Amino acid sequence: MTTALHLADAGEAADLAAFLARLIHYDKAAAVRLQAGGGVLAVFGRPPSFEVLAIRTARLAGDSVLDTTVSAGELLEGIEESADAVTVPAAVTGPPWTGLLPPRGGWQRVPGLPAPEALVRTVAAAVAEFRARDEALPPQHRTRSERDRIGREIWSRTLGDTRLPLRAAHAAQSLGFLRPARATALVGGGTSPGTAGPAPLPQPLSLLSAGGWLRLSTPYGSVAVRTGGPAGLSGLTVTPA
C-alpha cells in the first residue's frame, strides 16, 4: 500500500531527491526511515561508509502523519519534482539502526565546533592523509584490514574542542550538507562586476547534544553519532571516496 505526500515546493522535492541519490551511491540497497508530522518530513539514512545517521528534513504542504521504513531507491523513484509530491512505497523490514534514532527533543548546543571553512579544510587534509598513507603501504600490506585500521585512526579523531568524530564532518560534506551558499561574493564587495571569490559556507553550523547523541546540524541536513553507544554506530571501517 502506498501513500502520497505533498511537499511545500519543487525545491524541497529536488533536495530530497539529491539526498536519496547520495545515500544510494554508498548503498544501492539502502533503506530509510520516514517520520512525518507537524508539517515536516524527516528522512533518516545510514550510509555504511561513515557509520553515522544522516537526517534530511523537507517541508510538507499539509499535516500528514507517517512513520515507516522504505527502500531509498523506490522512494527516489516516487518523487515528482514538477508536482511537488512524493509517493511513499510499501514498507520494508528495516535494518536494526531504524529502531535506534536520536531523540526528537532535549537538544542543547555544545561549544567548541570549528568554523565551517575550517571543517572543510580538516576533512580535505584527512582525505589527503588517508590516500598518502594508503599509497605508501607495501603491496603485501595493502589489505582491507590495514586500510580499515588507517581509516579508524584518522576518522575517529575529534573535531576542535568537542567529542564529535571527524567522520561526522566527512559524512556531512559527502552527503552535500557542507556545501557553499548559493550566493557568490564579489572580491572587494560593492555592486560592480568583478572576480568572483570562493562562495562562503552557509551559517549557522551547530553541534548539539542529547541522550548520548551528538548531532552536527547544518542548513542542508544533520549528521548524528551515538557516543559510547552500541557497536555499529561507533568506529569506522571505510576507505574514503
Q: What digits encode the pLDDT tens for the residues 196-206?
A: 445 555 557 99
Closest CA to 116 of 184, 221, 201: 201
State the Cα–Cα distance between residues 155 and 196, nearest whole angstrom.
Answer: 33
State the Cα–Cα distance between residues 110 and 163, nearest whole angstrom.
Answer: 10
Taking residues 114-133, report their average pLDDT: 93
- The pTM for the full model equals 0.83
Q: What is the dihedral of CA 122, 126, 129, 134, to 10 degrees?
A: -170
Whether residue 176 contacts residue 78, with contact meaning beta carbons closer than 8 Å, is answered with no
Q: Please, which pLDDT band fits residue 108 given cuts at 50, 70 and 90?
A: very high
What pLDDT does residue 136 have? 94
Q: Please, which pLDDT band fits residue 81 given cuts at 50, 70 and 90?
A: confident
Residue 229 has pLDDT above 90, yes or no: no
Mean pLDDT of the chain: 85
- What are the CA-CA distances from residue 209 to residues 18, 99, 228 (Å)? 27, 19, 13
Where do the structural domains in the chain lie, given as residue ranges?
3-101, 109-179+201-226
CA within 13 Å, CB half, 107? 16
Whether residue 51 contacts residue 107, with contact meaning beta carbons closer than 8 Å, is answered with no
61 DSSP assignment: S
More confidently predicted of 72 and 200:
72
What pLDDT does residue 199 have? 56
Taking residues 123-142, report their average pLDDT: 93
Whether residue 56 contacts residue 19, with contact meaning beta carbons closer than 8 Å, is answered with yes
Residue 240 has pLDDT above 80, yes or no: no
**187 backbone dihedrals φ, ψ, rounded to 5°:** -60, 130
Judged by average pLDDT, the poorest of 19-33, 114-128, 148-162, 171-185 is 171-185
For the segment 138-165, what is each residue's pLDDT rounded down to a tens digit? 998 889 999 999 999 999 999 989 999 9
For the segment 34-61, what is each residue's pLDDT rounded down to a tens digit? 999 999 999 999 998 888 999 999 999 9
Classify residue 10 by burial, with Cβ atoms within 10 Å: 0-12, 13-18, 19+.
Answer: middle
What pLDDT does residue 195 have? 40
User: CA angle 16-44-98, nearest 5°?
Assistant: 150
Taking residues 91-99, report their average pLDDT: 92
91, amino acid identity: A
CATH fold for domain 3-101: DNA Polymerase III; Chain A, domain 2 (3.10.150)
What pLDDT does residue 75 have? 97
List beta partners, residue 150. none
State the Cα–Cα distance between residues 36 and 59, nearest whole angstrom.
Answer: 10
What pLDDT does residue 3 have? 85
Closest CA to 49 of 226, 218, 170, 177: 170
List beta partners, residue 6. 85
List beta partners, residue 223. 54, 216
